[in-house]
């Protein structure tokens, strides 16, 4: 088999997006459109992936520096045919070229394999699809025998041609030498004054090349993103597919339409996810995890049988088994909860370990702390970890009991089994097993009178 070179067209502005951002950098399920296409290309194990970029200057390669592709500039966007031409000089004649569009993100490996298999000296593969609403797409022209003769862009089509429902997806595979010759004879004689890649189909037909159409498994695979409405409808489709995968793997979704996954989820069995949950980045959910409504989890690991109640935000955090988190808890980066930890409402934890069985149930900030096992932190406790310039650590040893409304001024250590009286401001380490109270004693002023306004005389 000849070597495969994939050319991805990503230089267009995407006028219809009405955006400052180059179109291929808009996101679907958390990833840029271009990343989807590059991933589909990699799946074919090609000799090379060339990405033609241009609108927005270097913004596309700069945003995605980790993509293993060769970046090919197209400094003026003179059309899809012109874009492919930019990528041809170093491509050997005997190679097979697969053209992908950077704005057609959900294309699948199996469809691509079929279209590549059709490319030879004497034949060409083209992905086409029948659409109920073909508006905006190039239409496929066939002769009386059903052989493909060319593609007409919607803008250049008459009303009879516009009635054709078989459309060009833009995805094609051809012999590189042949493609090079067809590209060289493209003309700008169309409404947009562009070099249309689609015009090579008529040239190929004239050369007696057999043009094989390939249909995708699902129409959504080949839908293009030209405006934000199409972006949103592909997003819904992708979310539905991801939700179905999760359900098949044993996750209960209270409403598959009200979960958004923007990343990669690993979920154990019997996970239950309530409505309006957003999972981003790399999220791992152990067996039996339950997630309440309105929860955001990003790049975090949740241990088995842990319950996350409504309205929590959890980011770069870890929770062990059988924890109870929320409602209204915030776990920030570096919050690591061991097994059986309870974190309640309006509690924020950052860069802190919390030992097994500890409870932090109400209105508390724990930052830069090492909390031991079975510690009880009372309502309204604050670790004062920042002196305006530096962050300091707070250490709370096993079995400590921190009374409500306590301030722990770091660096400070609360000894094992210490009890801290409510309302204390702790500035020195506390001895293990003792009660420490750091607040003024209560006084009562006997006979004190509350001031009163003089009453005005009745008229
Ligand atoms: C194109 C096809 C149309 C097809 C549709 C499928 C042409 C002329 N038309 O139309 O037949 O039905 O896709 O989605 O090919 N690009 C460049 N450089 C350019 C122009 C475009 O790299 O000079 C890139 C764009 O970034 C985009 C892709 O090529 O990723 C397609 O361009 P777009 O303008 O979206 O073409 P459509 O009008 O959608
Ligand atoms: Ca398009």
Which domains are present in the chain? Answer: 4-222 (3.90.550.10), 228-436 (2.160.10.10)
Nearest residue to 190 (alpha-carbon basis) of 151, 234, 230: 151
Phi and psi, residue 42, nearest 5°: -55, -35
Q: Which ligand is nearest to the CA of 102?
A: 1
Find where tokens 């078989």 sit. Answer: 166
CB 5 within 8 A of CB 47: yes
CB 337 within 8 A of CB 329: no
For the whole model, what pTM was predicted? Answer: 0.93
Pairing verdict, β 166-175 and 96-101: antiparallel
Burial of 126 (0-12, 13-18, 19+ CB in 10 A): buried
Is residue 362 among the annotated active site residues? yes
Pairing verdict, β 382-384 and 352-354: unpaired
- Indicate if the pLDDT at residue 418 is higher than 90: yes
- Alpha carbons 215 and 128: distance in angstroms, whole number: 6
Q: Whose CA is nearest to atom 26 of ligand 1?
A: 12
Residue among 82, 362, 392, 428 flagged as catalytic? 362
Q: Give tens-digit pLDDT for 22-78.
A: 999 999 999 999 999 999 999 999 999 999 999 988 999 999 999 999 999 999 999
pLDDT bracket for residue 189 (50, 70, 90): confident
Phi and psi, residue 201, nearest 5°: -65, -45
Strand partners, 96: 4, 175
Q: What is the CA(80)–ligand 1 centre distance, in A? A: 6
CB 106 within 8 A of CB 220: yes
Q: How many residues does the chain have?
A: 459
Q: Where are the alpha helices (DSSP H) in 27-175?
A: 33-42, 59-63, 80-86, 109-117, 159-162
- Alpha carbons 127 and 153: distance in angstroms, whole number: 16
- Indicate if the pLDDT at residue 457 is higher than 80: no
For the Cβ of 104 lying below 6 angstroms from any atom of ligand 1, the answer is: yes
pLDDT bracket for residue 309 (50, 70, 90): very high
Cα–Cα distances (Å) from 288 to 268, 281, 303, 346, 385, in that order, read 7, 21, 9, 25, 35
DSSP, res 423 = T
Q: What is the CA(70)–ligand 1 centre distance, in A? A: 20
Best substitution site from 6, 7, 12, 164 to test ligand 1's pocket, by max atoms within 8 Å of Cβ? 12
Q: Whose CA is nearest to atom 3 of ligand 1?
A: 138
For the Cβ of 88 lying below 6 angstroms from any atom of ligand 1, the answer is: no
Q: Whose CA is nearest to atom 14 of ligand 1?
A: 224
Pairing verdict, β 307-308 and 324-325: parallel
For position 223, what pLDDT does the model report? Answer: 96
CB 351 within 8 A of CB 338: no
Best substitution site from 14, 61, 170, 234 to test ligand 1's pocket, by max atoms within 8 Å of Cβ? 170
pLDDT bracket for residue 106 (50, 70, 90): very high
Q: Whose CA is nearest to atom 20 of ligand 1?
A: 79
For the Cβ of 134 lying below 6 angstroms from any atom of ligand 1, the answer is: no
């Amino acid at each position: 088999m000849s070597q495969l070179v994939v050319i991805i067209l990503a230089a267009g502005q995407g006028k219809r997006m009405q955006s400052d951002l180059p179109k291929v950098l808009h996101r679907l399920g958390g990833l840029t459109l271009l990343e989807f296409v590059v991933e589909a290309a990699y799946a074919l194990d090609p000799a090379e992936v060339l990405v033609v970029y241009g609108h927005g200057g270097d913004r596309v390669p700069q945003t995605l520096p980790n993509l293993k592709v060769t970046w090919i500039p197209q400094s003026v966007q003179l059309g899809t045919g012109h874009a492919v031409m930019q990528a041809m000089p170093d491509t050997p004649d005997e190679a097979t070229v697969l053209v992908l569009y950077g704005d057609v993100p959900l294309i699948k490996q199996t469809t691509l394999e079929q279209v590549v298999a059709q490319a030879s000296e004497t034949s060409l593969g083209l992905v086409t699809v029948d659409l109920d609403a073909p508006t905006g797409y190039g239409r496929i022209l066939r002769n009386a025998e059903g052989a493909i003769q060319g593609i007409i862009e919607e803008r250049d089509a008459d009303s009879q041609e516009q009635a054709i429902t078989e459309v060009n997806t833009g995805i094609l595979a051809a012999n590189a030498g042949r493609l090079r010759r067809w590209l060289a004879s493209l003309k700008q004689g169309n409404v947009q004054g562009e070099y249309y890649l689609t015009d090579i189909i008529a040239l190929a037909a004239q050369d007696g090349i057999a043009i094989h159409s390939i249909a995708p498994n699902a129409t959504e695979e080949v839908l293009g993103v030209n405006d934000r409405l199409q972006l949103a409808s592909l997003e819904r489709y992708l979310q539905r597919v991801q939700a179905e995968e999760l359900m098949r793997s044993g996750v209960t979704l209270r409403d598959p339409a009200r979960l958004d996954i923007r990343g990669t989820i690993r979920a154990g069995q019997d996970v239950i996810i309530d409505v309006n949950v957003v999972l981003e980045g790399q999220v791992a959910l152990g067996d039996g995890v339950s997630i309440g409504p309105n929860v955001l989890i990003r790049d975090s690991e949740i241990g088995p049988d842990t319950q996350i109640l409504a309205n929590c935000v959890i980011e770069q955090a870890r929770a062990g088994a059988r924890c109870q988190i929320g409602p209204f808890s915030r776990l920030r980066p570096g919050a690591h909860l061991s097994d059986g930890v309870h974190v309640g409402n309006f509690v924020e934890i950052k860069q802190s370990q919390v030992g097994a069985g500890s409870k932090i149930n109400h209105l508390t900030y724990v930052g830069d702390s090492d909390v031991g096992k079975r510690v009880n932190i009372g309502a309204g406790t604050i670790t004062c970890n920042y002196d305006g310039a530096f962050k300091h650590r707070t250490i709370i040893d096993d079995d400590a009991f921190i009374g409500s409304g306590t301030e722990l001024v770091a660096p400070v250590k609360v000894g094992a089994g210490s009890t801290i009286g409510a309302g204390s401001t702790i500035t020195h380490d506390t001895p293990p097993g003792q009660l420490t109270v750091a607040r003024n004693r209560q006084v009562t002023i006997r006979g004190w009178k509350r001031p009163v306004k003089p009453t005005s005389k009745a008229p």
